[in-house]
Structure 1
Amino acid sequence: MSAVFVHLDNIDHAGHTYGAASQQYLDAIHGADAQVGQIVAAVEARPTYAAEDWLIMVTADHGHTDAGGHGGSTLQERQTFLIATGQALVPGSVRYDVKMPDVAASALVHLGIPLDPAWGLDGRPVQQPGRDDFDALRGTLATRVDETGVPAATVGFTHTPPPGWSVDNSAMGGGGVAEWRGWSFTTDEFWTQAQRHQNRECNIRARNVFAVADGDEWADKAFTGTFDSTLVSPAYPVTGGGTAVLTYTTYYRHEASQKGEVLVSYDGGSPLSVRTYTGDVSSRTETIALQVPPGATSARVRFRYTGGNNWYWVIDGVGIGRP
């Protein structure tokens, strides 16, 4: 297996010099498009092409501001794309579960190099699409209510959980910003534009639609009480007396008086705490071994976030399976 990396830099030069709203920037894009076309044509002209397994990926490492330059936290600077074609990919499909770290992971897998969890890679192969319960909500997402920093046409939040899930707001304070009153389901495009410069863009492992408890944003409008909301999973099948593994993706930013707690209950019994967050946790996938009580047949997970005008907690990709 072989790999080829080609860097076409004229677009970046045009963006810095003339800005993303310039004719020069558009011309540079057209030029790079033609060059990519020449490369793809050369690959497809190979006498052995029909017997070969190619993965071709085209991407940009960042966007530009209209005035020129990058390096900030605006969506225009962070937003980019991945165009990919290969035997394991569906032609013409549009994906919402892809992020830039996936480029390296996809190339390694295509080259036959197994991904070692010890490497701590943020990316996952595009050839192995992931999907969780929250992603099914994309078609139900609504536009902003109180969040004036989010463009009016951007759809990106709902309080309605997917089937089998629920949100317990019985101890939740009143008022506050409507979008973030209790656990919400949102997207990167919507959530990161709600407030810049607070590291929301570092939520790199959550994909497509994810769950957020955001006390910081909720408190940006008059409120009463405290933020106390619990996200409750469906009942997952388990084997009594055995070991099960709870996995989920998390990103937690902490401030005093705030707490994130993960609890598990078996067959409707009292929830037991299995993990507590009282300090910053970078975006990562958690794996927690569960000792299932004898005779138990199901387990339900609760994510309880308590606080006030503090920070936030992101949850995605929840599941319970065998070790």
Structure 2
Amino acid sequence: MVFVQLDNIDHAGHSYGAASQQYLDAIHTADAQAGQLVNAVKSRPGYADEDWLIMVTADHGHTDPGGHGGSTLQERQTFLIATGPTLAAGSVRNDVKMPDVAASALAHLGIALDPAWDLDGRPVQQPAPDDFDALRGRLQSRVDETGIPAGILGFTHTPPAGWSVDNSAMGGGGVTEWRGWSFTTDEFWTQTQRDQNRECNIRARNVFAVADGDEWSDKTLTGSFDSTLVSPAHPVTGGRGATLTYTTYYRQESPQKGEVLVSYDGAAPVPVRTYTADVPSRTETVTLQVPAGATTVRVRFRYTGGNNWYWVIDGVRISQ
């Protein structure tokens, strides 16, 4: 294992800004240095019998005038370039975030990731796409939002196959993008309003579901926010336990509430978890006891509130 830090790009950004020729020159220099390192690896006598994962990344971006540390997308946005035997050459992915660098290195070294560590990252060698990610090609540009660049495609109200959104109790009007549960991306959602902690949604990947009463209320509306995201019917075996897992991020302001409900074979939904306090981005595990004779289960995520905060859901899975 080798860790190399090439710091001159950061120095150029602070001294001259990210829009400068000096910044671009520093990138070219670092690119050549990275090439030297890769060539040195490939020149090793035993290279043909070795298993290398090479990752190139930056810990943050820069503003055009220079500097970083704020919450703008330009400062937070970065990249991961990786090559290894399990990674498809030339592929571009939307499910990778900064914490994945450490998790990927550990996995490559054969170190099992202990759930007790509660890592935010996951190995890039082990992608875990979910139903929401299939919506990437359906994303639209902004409608009412003004802080999001017009060229960014980042939201849709159309759920993936098998999913539905129940807006029968949803208020009218409001900001179009966030009327009921929406499906969006980090690049789009975090630019709705800076410094409201949307960038702390670290575990949701690619496309995820958001109920954002705060942003919805930024335009004339009637009623309150009351929207329910409904999963497909998952097959289960009655009389046995099952496990519901999902990634969540919830920011609370009363009278807002988030409810997770389950129903078996179309029966009345029963709450299995309720959110009325802040929850950091994390993976939730809920143990279900499937009634005898039941063959299917649906999960509902109901968010109620108004000009409060928001709830994120991603990676919903049921196992038995």
> What is the TM-score normalised by the length of structure 1?
0.99
Counterpart check, 1:199 vs 2:197: yes
The Cα shift of 1:75 comes to 0.2
**Which residues in structure 2 correspond to 1:67-216 (within 5 Å)?**
67-216=65-214
**Percent identity of paired positions between Structure 1 and Structure 2:** 82
Q: 1:42 is paired with a residue of what secondary structure? A: helix
What is the rounded CA distance, in whole Å, between the counterparts of 1:111 and 1:133 in structure 2?
30
Q: Out of 258, 269, 291, which is 1:293 matched to?
A: 291
Q: 1:69 is paired with a residue of what secondary structure? A: coil
What is the rounded CA distance, in whole Å, between the counterparts of 2:55 and 2:125 in structure 1?
12
Amino acid at match of 2:185: T
Q: How many residues align?
A: 320
What is the rounded CA distance, in whole Å, between the counterparts of 1:195 and 1:24 in structure 2?
32
> Partner of 2:56 in structure 1?
58
Counterpart check, 1:278 vs 2:261: no
Q: 2:146 is paired with a residue of what secondary structure? A: coil
Q: 1:234 is paired with a residue of what secondary structure? A: coil
What is the rounded CA distance, in whole Å, between the counterparts of 1:85 and 1:301 in structure 2?
38
What is the rounded CA distance, in whole Å, between the counterparts of 1:25 and 1:237 in structure 2?
55
Structure 1 segments of 4 or more deviating over 3 A?
Answer: none
**Gaps in structure 1 of 5+ consecutive residues:** none
Amino acid at match of 1:307: G
Q: Out of 15, 18, 41, which is 2:16 matched to?
A: 18
What is the rounded CA distance, in whole Å, between the counterparts of 2:236 and 2:271 in structure 1?
18
Deviations 1:222-250 (A, max 9, x none): 01100000000001111100000000000
Amino acid at match of 2:134: A
Q: 1:193 is paired with a residue of what secondary structure? A: coil
> Partner of 1:243 in structure 2?
241
What is the rounded CA distance, in whole Å, between the counterparts of 1:15 and 1:200 in structure 2?
26
**Which residues in structure 2 correspond to 1:294-313 (within 5 Å)?**
294-313=292-311
What is the rounded CA distance, in whole Å, between the counterparts of 1:234 and 1:256 in structure 2?
30
> What is the TM-score normalised by the length of structure 2?
1.00
Deviations 1:146-202 (A, max 9, x none): 001000111000000000000000000000000000000000000000111000000
Q: Out of 254, 258, 261, which is 1:260 matched to?
A: 258
Q: 2:24 is paired with a residue of what secondary structure? A: helix
Deviations 1:190-225 (A, max 9, x none): 000011100000000000000000000000000110
Amino acid at match of 2:140: A
The Cα shift of 1:282 comes to 0.1
What is the rounded CA distance, in whole Å, between the counterparts of 1:158 and 1:42 in structure 2?
47
The Cα shift of 1:47 comes to 1.1
The Cα shift of 1:130 comes to 1.1
The Cα shift of 1:9 comes to 0.2
The Cα shift of 1:46 comes to 0.8
Q: 1:179 is paired with a residue of what secondary structure? A: helix
